């Protein structure tokens, strides 16, 4: 009888332990976006920017990701002009300020995890032809299941409607570099 009670007690403990762990499923850790990434223009969608020079730029991202800090060194080469920007995001929601493209603006955002995506949300005021315009920018970074592609999407909402850009990056290093 003691043996049966002991076995039942062990089974009950095991069941409670499995239930606490989500039925035996181990929760996946958040993805590490670290690496060197090259823009794959053939897989990207530039939206309203398709005819702009930036859609033809060579873009490299060098990412160091140690959660909650996500550091991105973004290098753009377009029409003989090169810009490198250092971007820092904090996935714990504390907020950050980063430069916009070609020094046009400073972008203040708040960043957090949404599932397996890093999401930065920004509210912007821009001077337009009809006065100040309120804009909302949402940026998302998501690693593919095989960790070979990084997809960046940005959605800009404003009085003009919605504009979306999807950039797909492939893991790789520029010539002479290492991943």
Nearest residue to 132 (alpha-carbon basis) of 157, 158, 109, 156: 158
Contact at 8 Å (CB) between 120 and 109? Answer: yes
Contact at 8 Å (CB) between 127 and 135? Answer: no
pLDDT bin (cut points 50, 70, 90) of residue 160 is: confident
- Percent helix, strand, coil in the chain, to 5, is 20, 55, 30
Summarised one tens digit per residue, pLDDT across range 73-88 is 999 999 999 999 999 9
Contact at 8 Å (CB) between 170 and 40? Answer: yes
Contact at 8 Å (CB) between 90 and 71? Answer: no
Is residue 143 left, alpha or beta, with left meaning phi > 0 and alpha meaning psi from -120 to 50? beta
Summarised one tens digit per residue, pLDDT across range 14-50 is 332 323 333 333 236 899 999 999 999 999 999 988 8
């Amino acid at each position: 009888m003691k043996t049966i009670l002991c076995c039942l007690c062990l089974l009950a403990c095991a069941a409670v332990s499995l239930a606490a762990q989500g039925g035996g499923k181990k929760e996946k850790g958040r993805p590490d976006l670290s690496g060197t990434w090259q823009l794959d223009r053939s897989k990207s969608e530039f939206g309203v920017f398709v005819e702009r020079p930036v859609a033809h730029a060579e873009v490299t991202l060098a990412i160091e990701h140690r959660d909650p800090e996500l550091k991105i060194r973004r290098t753009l080469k377009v029409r003989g002009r090169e810009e490198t920007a250092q971007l820092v995001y904090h996935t714990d929601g504390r907020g950050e300020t980063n430069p916009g493209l070609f020094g046009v603006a400073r972008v203040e955002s708040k960043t957090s995890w949404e599932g397996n995506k890093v999401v930065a949300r920004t509210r912007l005021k821009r001077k337009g032809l009809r006065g100040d315009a309120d804009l909302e920018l949402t940026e998302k970074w998501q690693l593919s299941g095989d960790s070979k592609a990084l997809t960046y999407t940005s959605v800009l909402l404003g009085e003009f409607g919605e504009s979306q850009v999807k950039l797909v990056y492939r893991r790789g290093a520029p010539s002479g570099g290492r991943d």
